[in-house]
Amino acid sequence: MNAFEELRNESYINSLIYKDKTKRWHDTRLKGNKQFEAGKKVLLYNSRLKLFPRKLCIRWSGLFKINHVYPYGVIELWNKDRSSFKVNGHIIKHYEEGMPNEERIE
């Protein structure tokens, strides 16, 4: 009976170690630049776009301008025709203007 109790305690400790490692692995892969300001340009993730198969589908749509940033991640966006709507801050990303930097491979 004591052997089963020791095995249970050891497996519990191993599960805590595994959970801690997976949490650190996940946290290192999160994109950190989610600070949005009014007047910046962003792209919106469109989860309803089903025109093409999954591999060929581009789900980032439009070029929107931030009108106002509300607390708790709510962001008001402007369309090109100046109509506004509110979205969750998790489904937008920064739009980087200009040419991308060329990385030279030596």
Residue 5: predicted pLDDT? 92
Residue 38 to residue 28: CA distance in whole angstroms: 28
Residue 6 to residue 3: CA distance in whole angstroms: 5
Residue type, 53: P
**Phi/psi at 75 (nearest 5 deg)?**
-130, 135
Which pLDDT tens digits describe the chain residue by residue (106 residues)?
888 999 999 999 999 999 999 888 877 766 666 788 899 999 998 877 565 566 666 778 888 999 999 988 899 999 888 889 999 888 888 887 776 655 544 4
Residue 101: predicted pLDDT? 59
pTM of the model: 0.56
Residue 104: predicted pLDDT? 47
